Amino acid sequence: MQNALQIVYLIPLLPLIGFLINGLGRKHLSKPAISLVGCGTILASFILSIWVFMQVKGGNTYDAHYFNFISVGKLVIPFAFKIDQLSSLFLLIITGVGFLIHVYSTSYMHEEKTEHFGRYFSYLNLFVFSMLLLVMGANFVILFIGWEGVGLCSYLLIGYWFKNTSYNKAASKAFIMNRIGDLAFLIAIFWLIAKLGTVSFSEVFTAANLAKLKTLDITVITILLFVGATGKSAQIPLYTWLPDAMAGPTPVSALIHAATMVTAGIYMIARSNVLYSLAPLTMDIVAYTGLATALLAATIALKQNDIKKVLAYSTVSQLGFMFLALGTGAYVAAVFHVMTHAFFKALLFLGSGSVIHAMSGEQDIRNMGGLSKKLKITFITFLVGCIAIAGIPPFSGFFSKDAILLSAYIKSPVLYGIALFTALLTAFYMFRLLFITFTGTFRGTDDQKHHLHESPVSMTIPLVVLAILSIIGGFVGIPEAIMHGGDKLTAFLSPVIAQHGEHTVSHTTEYMLMGLSTALVVVMIIAAWFVFRNYQRSEATGFGKVLENKWYVDELYEAAFVKPLKRFGSFLNNVFEKSVVDGLVNGVGKAVNYSSRQLRLLQSGQVGSYVLLMVLSMVVFFVIQFFIRK
Amino acid sequence: MIPVLLILVPLLTGLAAFILKNEKTVRSWALFSSLITLAVSLAGLTLLKDAKYMAHQCEWMPALGSSFSVKLDGVGLILTLLNAVSFPLIFIATWNTSYKNARNFFALMLLGQAGMMGVFLAMDALLFYFFWELALIPMYFLCSQWGGEKRIAVTIKFFIYTFVGSLLMLIAILFVYSKTTDRSFSLQSFYDVAVTLNSKQQNLVFWLMFAAFAIKMPIFPLHTWQPDTYEQAPTATTMALSGVMVKMGVFGIIRWLFPIVSGASFQWGDFITPMAIIGMIYASLIALRQDDLKRLVAYSSIAHIGLLCAGLFTQNTSGIQGVMIQMFSHGINIIGLWIVVEWIERNTGTRKISELGGLAQTAPTLAIFFVIIALANIALPLTNAFVGEFLIFNGILSSYTQYYVWFTVMAGVCIILAAAYTLRMVRKVAYGNVNDITSKVTDIRFNEKLALGIIVILIFWIGVFPQPMLDLTNGVTESIVNKFEVIRYPTVPK
């Protein structure tokens, strides 16, 4: 019996082909041809993904085994894909949102030279390919291949404008920060191999369920995997690369932040939920790290003036929420938030791209203001995005955030309190951004004012589609308290993510929590309205300055790690290598030279000195004989 | 016949090159010769699938108990293949470089290739030693005649350093020879006598041999000859040195050191692995601060070779199989890097990273190749180096030592450092804006494209389908690992 799903290999293969065509033919193809290849391959993958999703929904799952990637001794790592509920859902998000971003890019990047236009789309396709590999892999190694692949693509795309030195530095920083996490991930894989001899998801999880792994091993493995996730999904302490990643073209930011890459860590932990549920210590670490990151990033976002930076820190903060959900065992809520976040964050980033496009490249919101009149579609869709991320019902963000807050409440009221506070900050800084950008009076130059225009259709259509999704996207996970059987997502994912323990709070409590958070969010929005509707430029002072400078974390890392390492490297190179290691070697050479020169003197040719030496050595010989050999 | 041909073709064509006149003729002759060698090697690859090995033996010095005995087995095949692939690449990539006394240059290159072939094939200790020196001496002349400004001092250091190593090895060989019952230099006799050595004798042989191999690889702190030599030697020679010749040290450990003195090798593992790892970190940190491209690549290579050494001393299947495939991958990748470096130096007149920049604009094709090879250098998945490094690291974590976690983490730091120094190099050379030096260059020509193209194909081919190559060395690896298994679990009957 052949499984209908056996053609799933086409889903990643098509973007790979697109990458090759655009990459190799970038000098020969026209821009429309490049766009067609770039978007067409992703669209085809998207259609296939819908079909796959339907199949999976109908109860069909598939494990594809292609060839043995590495087989050494008893260790066998197959190149294999796993199509189940979790991966099919991610396939939809990646290809769907990815496709919209591709379409949007055709206009956004139209001023690039054809050659670079082709390069851009080939990178974009490669990015989607890597991400698909990541979620389709049936074992940790294939996941890791995609994992490093998205790291590479982000490196290439962040540094896309490679003439700019600071962009290149941001790209390198992203790659190296990710590599730190990747190392932990790799060690986790090796640990699994050492303990179980396998890396396949199904075998590892079965073994864990059968208690074949000691708790200590599970804890080590899950912590290491989580460290890997902090790199890719930008959590404390490895989050600093993500805001710098704004150096890339704006659609790339949307792709990195919404549909791909940063969600990889969430996916990986959700995929490994069996292991995590067996490691309570790790769960606590995940939850607290997530919450701390959410709060830290939200405070920074309050004072940022670059439209993309605000969104970047909001992403870090939202990812923190997702980790909070994972850490409290609400895996489905995390995946749910990945999905809704993909919609509204892609929307917000593409919206910011539309603004930047209209402002001729300006990104500083202090130079904007009053844009709502000229950019109507952008404004309305951006507003939808803000409402969705702030969490006002019935927009999508409300449902997923509510699920996370609820799981935090069940774990501990303190967690809930901090999470709620962070959610309120979110509403405040997002509407600060909205009001400063779109309301009040225009503060830019006359040139910019003259140039202001709504973006072309190929940019606004993705905005509208994403706005609709941001509104209705939450309906797949309506909580049980509101509508019986409304939580379709949990039911759908139940084969992959087992539910531990039922709701421990009454429906009344749930209503109260929802009411409280909604009411407070509305208050925050109103507050933001009063503070920022007529924004005037002002310098940050005191604590605001600390926030504006991101708590000086970058400076701290620079002083604590980068500089000492560089200095140590210089010391090794300039002093140790030359004087000690090589000095020793040359010293041996010199010593030999010197001693042979001295020894040469002995061969003087005078018989007398030879005799003298002979006698002396005989004396020495006898002394040795006498004293040492008794 | 194949193993003999592998040695004879470069040897005879190399000798013949001495009498050729025209530079162009000798250049073509060398390329032709190297392609023949490659064809022979590929023939060996296809033929070896049916047989486990191919051997040839005839009398050489019967009075001493030494015979001309060569054998092509898995590990020999991988390295002779690397040797055979490297030289055409070197000749193609440096096609436009002109040398004074070109016939001597190419003749010596081919003789060096013959010597290295012999090293990888010899089954007789004296023959091994003979080829070991035959490989070294042409390199010495190549560096001293065609090298850079400081060539004489550097070459002398290189020569003395490696020659001291060779002599130590010779002492070890003679010592083991003196213990053989049948007064024979054959590998089998050496293997047989190994079990009769007591631990003191084992230690003696181990350190004498290891010193020779460690200098060749090189392992920290015996590495200082290398950056200088790589910097001063003509780039074609540097490619041969770093791509193939350093593998002689690794190979020596696999073929001679481990099987003959397994006990001592096992016992000293906990001493040598940390040395190798310290060397990795040390070289990576220095690479991070290099301004000279050649020295940067040299230190990067020292770090990578350190990993090979650590992988060997895991003494388990994963680690050693990783080393096997990584030897090939490292050779290919570093030759690719040298081709880029050589092109940059030839076209811009500088090797200083601080003076370069923006080559992605003026030489986009070169930049693409450069980035791909650089990514392979940092072992990105689906490139060739990932397979080897993955297996080696996996081997370290599951190795038979109580410090396995520390070894893995410390060696793992180099994964991060490698990304840091490699991306720094790419960033400063290829990206950024053009300057006076880099604005005038024109992109690479056909011969460089061809060589780099082949390298990139090999990078991805091995990176995606590594299994056929891993299968080649299964047998050799198993036989080594079995020797260590016996030591680790002496009571378990094998």
CB contact under 8 A, A194 and B420: no
Which pLDDT band, with edges at 50, 70 and 90, does A630 fall under? very low
In this predicted model, what pLDDT tens digit does every residue of A46-90 receive, in sequence order? 999 999 999 998 888 888 899 999 999 889 999 999 999 999 999
CB contact under 8 A, A69 and B466: yes
B433 pLDDT above the threshold of 90: no
Stretch B252-264: mean pLDDT: 91
What is the Cα–Cα distance from A57 to A73, expressed in whole angstroms? 39
Question: Among all residues of chain A, which has the CA nearest to that of B160?
Answer: A589
Report whether A466 contacts A343 (CB < 8 A).
yes
Q: Is A584 on the interface with B (CB under 8 A)?
A: yes
What is the Cα–Cα distance from A209 to B145, expressed in whole angstroms? 68
Stretch A134-151: mean pLDDT: 94
Single-letter code of the amino acid located at B463:
G
What is the Cα–Cα distance from B262 to B350, expressed in whole angstroms? 47
Backbone angles phi, psi at A300, to 5 degrees: -65, -40
**Which residues 6+ apart lie within 8 Å of B439 measured at CB?**
B358, B362
- Choose among A522, A517, A284, A295: nearest CA to A401: A517
Question: Among all residues of chain B, which has the CA nearest to that of A181?
Answer: B416
Residue B494 is predicted with a pLDDT of 42
Q: What percent of chain A has pLDDT over 70?
A: 97
Question: Among all residues of chain A, which has the CA nearest to that of B156?
Answer: A589
What is the Cα–Cα distance from A49 to A55, expressed in whole angstroms? 10
Sign for the CA dihedral angle at A206, A209, A214, A218 comes to: positive
Helix (H, G, I), strand (E, B) or coil at A162: coil
> Which residue in the block uniquely carries the two structure tokens 């939450």?
A474
- Choose among A609, A181, A566: nearest CA to B284: A566
Chain B residues touching A172 at Cβ < 8 A: 420, 423-424, 427
What is the Cα–Cα distance from B222 to B215, expressed in whole angstroms? 6
Helix (H, G, I), strand (E, B) or coil at B127: helix
Stretch B203-226: mean pLDDT: 90
What is the Cα–Cα distance from A12 to A127, expressed in whole angstroms? 10
A369 pLDDT above the threshold of 90: no
Report whether B29 contacts B13 (CB < 8 A).
yes
Residue B64 is classified by DSSP as G
Listed in sequence order, the DSSP H helices in B69-101 are 74-93
Q: Provide the chain B residues 209-228 that lie in CB contact (below 8 A) with chain A.
A: 220-221, 223-225
Q: Is A145 on the interface with B (CB under 8 A)?
A: yes
Q: What is the token pair recorded at A118?
A: 């082709």
In this predicted model, what pLDDT tens digit does every residue of B347-361 receive, in sequence order? 898 889 998 988 888
Q: How far is A567 from chain B (nearest CA, A)?
A: 9
pTM over 0.80: yes
* C-alpha to C-alpha distances, A84 to A63, A88, A205, nearest whole angstrom: 8, 6, 15
What is the Cα–Cα distance from B233 to B145, expressed in whole angstroms? 9
Chain A residues touching B397 at Cβ < 8 A: 187, 190-191, 193-194
Q: What is the mean pLDDT of chain B?
A: 90
B297 pLDDT above the threshold of 90: yes
State the Cα angle at B169 between B166 and B171, rounded to 5°: 115
* C-alpha to C-alpha distances, A601 to A437, A588, A610, A615, nearest whole angstrom: 90, 20, 12, 18
Chain A residues touching B361 at Cβ < 8 A: 163
Q: How far is B321 from chain A (nearest CA, A)?
A: 7
CB contact under 8 A, A569 and B465: no
Q: Provide the chain B residues 383-442 that lie in CB contact (below 8 A) with chain A.
A: 387, 390-391, 393-394, 397-398, 408-409, 412-413, 415-416, 419-420, 423-424, 427, 430-433
* C-alpha to C-alpha distances, B328 to B287, B392, B469, nearest whole angstrom: 22, 14, 10
Q: How far is A192 from chain B (nearest CA, A)?
A: 10
Q: How far is A255 from chain B (nearest CA, A)?
A: 22
What is the Cα–Cα distance from B453 to A311, expressed in whole angstroms? 41
- Choose among B310, B309, B293, B334: nearest CA to B396: B310
Which pLDDT band, with edges at 50, 70 and 90, does B401 fall under? confident
Listed in sequence order, the DSSP H helices in A278-330 are 280-301, 307-327
In this predicted model, what pLDDT tens digit does every residue of A399-416 receive, in sequence order? 999 999 999 998 888 999
Q: What is the token pair recorded at B448?
A: 């460089």
Residue B456 is predicted with a pLDDT of 96
Question: Among all residues of chain A, which has the CA nearest to that of B380?
Answer: A148
Q: What's the burial of B465, exposed, middle or buried (CB within 10 Å: 0-12/13-18/19+)?
A: middle
A495 pLDDT above the threshold of 80: yes
**Which residues 6+ apart lie within 8 Å of B233 measured at CB?**
B139, B142, B143, B146, B147, B148, B151, B241
Stretch A563-572: mean pLDDT: 89
B280 pLDDT above the threshold of 80: yes
Report whether B218 contacts B227 (CB < 8 A).
no
**Which of B290, B391, B433 shows the shortest C-beta gap to A72?**
B391
Alpha carbon of residue A280 to chain centroid: 24
Q: What is the mean pLDDT of chain A?
A: 89
* C-alpha to C-alpha distances, B208 to B99, B124, B129, B181, B185, nearest whole angstrom: 38, 18, 14, 21, 17
User: Would residue A271 be called left, alpha or beta, if left means φ above 0 and alpha means ψ between -120 and 50 degrees?
Assistant: alpha
Alpha carbon of residue A421 to chain centroid: 24
What is the Cα–Cα distance from B269 to B397, expressed in whole angstroms? 14
Pairs of residues, one from chain A and one from chain B, whose beta carbons lie less than 8 Å apart: 131
Regarding beta strands A75-83 and A62-72, do their DSSP bridges make them parallel or antiparallel, or are they unpaired?
antiparallel
What is the Cα–Cα distance from A83 to A124, expressed in whole angstroms? 23
What are the b/e assignments for B233-257, b being 16+ CB within 10 Å?
A: bbbbbbbbbbbbbbbbbbbbbbbbb
> Which residue in the block uniquely carries the two structure tokens 């990105």?
B380
Strands (E), B62-150: 66-72
In this predicted model, what pLDDT tens digit does every residue of B88-122 receive, in sequence order? 999 999 888 888 888 899 999 999 999 999 999 99
Listed in sequence order, the DSSP H helices in A109-164 are 114-136, 140-158
* C-alpha to C-alpha distances, A129 to A102, A140, A160, nearest whole angstrom: 13, 17, 18
* C-alpha to C-alpha distances, B211 to A506, B21, B37, B62, B199, nearest whole angstrom: 74, 41, 31, 29, 18
CB contact under 8 A, A191 and B466: no
CB contact under 8 A, A568 and B285: yes
Neighbours of A595 (CB within 10 A): 10
A5 pLDDT above the threshold of 90: no
Residue B157 is predicted with a pLDDT of 86
Stretch B361-376: mean pLDDT: 93
Stretch A129-148: mean pLDDT: 94
Listed in sequence order, the DSSP H helices in B380-445 are 384-397, 404-429
Chain A residues touching B466 at Cβ < 8 A: 69-70
> Which residue in the block uniquely carries the two structure tokens 């339907």?
A54
Q: Provide the chain A residues 516-575 that lie in CB contact (below 8 A) with chain B.
A: 565-566, 568-570, 572-573
Q: Is B49 on the interface with A (CB under 8 A)?
A: no
**Which of B161, B221, B467 shows the shortest C-beta gap to A70?**
B467
Residue B170 is predicted with a pLDDT of 92
B152 pLDDT above the threshold of 90: no
Residue A66's H or E segment, with its range, is strand A62-72
CB contact under 8 A, B288 and A148: no
Q: Is B465 on the interface with A (CB under 8 A)?
A: yes
Chain B residues touching A194 at Cβ < 8 A: 394, 397-398
Q: What is the token pair recorded at A484?
A: 């019986």
Listed in sequence order, the DSSP H helices in A563-606 are 563-571, 582-602
What is the number of alpha carbons within 13 Å of residue B211 lying toward its C-beta? 17
In this predicted model, what pLDDT tens digit does every residue of B157-168 receive, in sequence order? 888 888 889 999
Q: What is the token pair recorded at A83?
A: 């199509």
**Which of A152, A165, A582 shows the shortest C-beta gap to B432?**
A165
Backbone angles phi, psi at A494, to 5 degrees: -55, -30
